[in-house]
Each structure stands twice: as structure tokens, then as C-alpha cells.
């Protein structure tokens, strides 16, 4: 066997080995891909990911949680129906209950207005079953002032007040329409604040307790300068008692 024949046989042997390696490697890759596809608990690990929206769903496909940017945030769902959003869409996290209704969420935003003042805030709310928010924790900035605090609200069920509101919108002006508005309010269609604990736009710390109509009855405040006060009010908002009471004239002379 001459040198050319020996080289040819060696090339043929290497070619057979290469085909075997490719065949075995391809089979192993196919097995790995099949195992990953049929695994009952696939799991991935990422150092960083860019995404516009994440839907957390049950094995049956029902939504439990949504994390979204402002463009893809879902419409509110109440009573099993989508409701048109009031105001602009904001990025955030939306929670859903087992019935598929929105049950609260966290939204946030911030920008500068035409005069350079912040228009910003963050709002974390918890809804009642079949209704709107009952508790909200938030921070809001607008027109050069800020409010931060905890709010507790009263509001009825959507199934009770929503039909009344639709009837009210379609009714002709007059006593009948005014009666529908009163019925809508009585059914809890108007959100009323029962409690506020936080900092007011005037920079005072405050606790405000209100009645079922949202009328403040007790207000406890401390001004930025450190002056405390406690006020009791009637249905018209008039202060019926203020603490601390002014010191009597004799007491004031002794203090001097």
C-alpha cells in the first residue's frame, strides 16, 4: 500500500468517527430537549430579564396576579366584568381573588407639571369582595403639597349600586333622577372616608375620624411647630369642643 492509499484510508476512518460522534451527540441533544419539554416542574434561572407584563396564573389558566407596565396594565374587573378605568393607566401590580375579580393592587407614577412641581404618588389598596377599596396606603404630591397616610373607606357592593348608577345616568332631569342618586349613595356607590392617619397638605400630623357620610367628627392634629389640638365637630363641621381649652385669666397671670 502506497502513501496515497494510506492517507485515503485514514481520512475515511476519521470521517466514520466524525459521523458517529455527530449521531451520538444529536441523539443526546434530542433526549435532553425531550426531557426538558416533558418535565412536570420546569424551572429557569435568570440574572436579568426585560418584560412588559407578567401574568401569574393557576394551572387552569386563571389569573392570580399581574405585574405590568402602564401600557399593558389590565382594566379593572369587578363582578366578573371589565370596567373602564377612571384616569390614566399606571404601572403596578394587580391582585385577583378566586372569583376572578380585582382585589387590590399597587400603582405608582410621577412627573413634573408645567410649572416644575411634582405630580406623583404611590397607592397600595385592598378591596372588599365584590366591591371597591376599603383600605389604602398612599403618598401623593400635587400643586406643591404632599399628603401621606392610611385611609379606611366605606363603600357598598358593585351589584347593588352599579345598576342604580346606570339608571341615574339614563334618567331625565327631575325628582325621579334625584331619588335614584340618593338610592345610589345609600347603596354605597359613593366612597366615603371613615379614617385618616398621616400627614396633611399643611404638614400637620393628623388622625381624623368620620361618620358613615364621610363627615369628620373628631380631629386630632399636631402642627409643624408642635402645637397639639383635639376637635369635636357636629354634622355641619362646626367645632363643638376644642382641646386644650384656653387657660383662665387667673391661670394666665400666674404663668406670666
**Quick one: three-class SS letters along the chain?**
CCHHHHHHHHHHHHHHHHHHHHHHHHHHHHHHHHHHHHCCCCCCCCCCCCCCEEEEECCCCCEEEEEECCCCCCCCEECCEECCCCCCCCCEEEEECCCCCEEEEEEEEEEECCCCCEEEEEEEEEECCCECEEEEEEEEEECCEEEEEEEEEECCEHHHHHHHHHHHHHCCCCHHHHHHHHHHHHCCCCCEEEEEEEECCCCCEEEEEECCCCCEEEEEEECCCCCEEEEEECCCCCEEEEECCCCCHHHHHHHC
Q: What's the pLDDT at 37?
A: 55
> Are 107 and 122 within 8 A, CB to CB?
yes
Please report the sign of the dihedral spanned by the C-alpha atoms of residue 21, residue 27, residue 33, residue 39: negative
**Residues 31 and 54 reside in one and the same domain:** no
Residue range 122-147: average pLDDT? 93
**Residues 10 and 63 reside in one and the same domain:** no
> Residues 161-200: pLDDT tens digits?
888 988 999 999 999 999 999 999 888 889 999 999 999 9
Q: What is the pTM of this model?
A: 0.74
Residue range 47-68: average pLDDT? 95
Within-domain flag for 179: no
Domain boundary among 115, 144, 161: 115
**Residues 70 and 102 reside in one and the same domain:** yes
Q: Which residues contact 102 (CB under 8 A, 6 or more apart)?
A: 76, 77, 78, 94, 95, 96, 127
The torsion angles phi and psi of 45, rounded to 5 degrees, stand at: -130, 130
**Residues 18 and 59 reside in one and the same domain:** no
Helix (H, G, I), strand (E, B) or coil at 146: strand
Within-domain flag for 171: no
List the alpha helices (DSSP H) in the chain.
Answer: 3-38, 158-170, 175-186, 249-255
Within-domain flag for 158: no
Within-domain flag for 237: no
Residue 254: pLDDT above 50? no
Q: How many distinct structural domains can be found in the chain?
A: 2
Domain boundary among 82, 115, 148: 115
Within-domain flag for 77: yes
> Are 220 and 195 within 8 A, CB to CB?
no
Tell me 76's DSSP state: P
Residue range 57-62: average pLDDT? 94
**Residues 53 and 104 reside in one and the same domain:** yes
Helix (H, G, I), strand (E, B) or coil at 106: strand
**Residues 52 and 110 reside in one and the same domain:** yes
Within-domain flag for 13: yes
Domain that holds residue 96: 48-115
**Confidence class for position 40, pLDDT limits 50, 70, 90:** low
Residue 17: pLDDT above 80? no
Residue 56: pLDDT above 90? yes
Residue 8: pLDDT above 90? no
Instruction: Give the three cell numbers for residue 106.
Output: 399597587
**Confidence class for position 256, pLDDT limits 50, 70, 90:** very low
> Are 126 and 104 within 8 A, CB to CB?
yes
Mean pLDDT of the chain: 85
Within-domain flag for 59: yes
Domain boundary among 115, 137, 160: 115
Within-domain flag for 128: no
Amino acid at each position: 500500500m502506497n502513501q496515497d492509499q494510506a492517507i485515503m484510508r485514514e481520512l475515511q476512518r476519521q470521517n466514520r468517527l466524525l459521523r458517529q460522534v455527530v449521531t451520538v451527540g444529536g441523539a443526546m441533544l434530542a433526549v435532553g430537549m425531550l426531557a426538558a419539554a416533558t418535565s412536570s416542574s420546569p424551572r429557569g434561572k435568570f440574572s436579568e430579564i426585560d418584560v412588559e407584563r407578567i401574568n401569574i396564573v393557576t394551572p387552569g389558566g386563571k389569573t392570580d396576579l399581574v405585574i405590568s407596565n402602564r401600557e399593558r396594565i389590565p382594566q379593572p374587573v369587578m363582578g366578573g366584568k371589565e370596567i373602564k378605568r377612571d384616569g390614566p393607566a399606571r404601572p403596578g401590580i394587580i391582585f385577583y381573588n378566586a372569583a376572578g375579580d380585582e382585589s387590590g393592587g399597587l400603582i405608582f407614577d410621577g412627573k413634573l407639571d408645567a410649572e416644575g412641581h411634582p405630580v406623583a404618588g404611590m397607592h397600595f389598596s385592598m378591596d372588599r369582595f365584590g366591591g371597591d377599596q376599603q383600605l389604602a396606603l398612599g403618598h401623593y404630591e400635587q400643586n406643591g403639597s404632599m399628603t401621606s397616610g392610611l385611609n379606611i373607606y366605606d363603600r357598598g357592593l358593585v351589584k347593588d349600586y352599579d345598576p342604580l348608577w346606570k339608571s341615574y345616568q339614563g334618567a331625565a332631569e327631575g325628582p325621579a333622577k334625584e331619588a335614584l342618586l340618593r338610592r345610589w349613595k345609600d347603596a354605597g356607590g359613593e366612597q366615603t372616608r371613615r379614617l385618616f392617619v398621616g400627614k396633611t397638605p399643611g404638614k400637620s400630623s393628623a388622625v381624623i375620624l368620620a361618620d358613615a357620610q364621610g363627615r369628620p367628627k373628631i380631629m386630632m392634629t399636631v402642627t409643624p411647630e408642635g402645637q397639639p389640638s383635639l376637635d369635636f365637630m357636629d354634622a355641619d363641621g362646626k367645632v363643638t369642643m376644642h382641646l386644650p381649652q384656653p387657660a383662665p385669666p387667673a391661670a394666665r397671670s400666674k404663668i406670666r
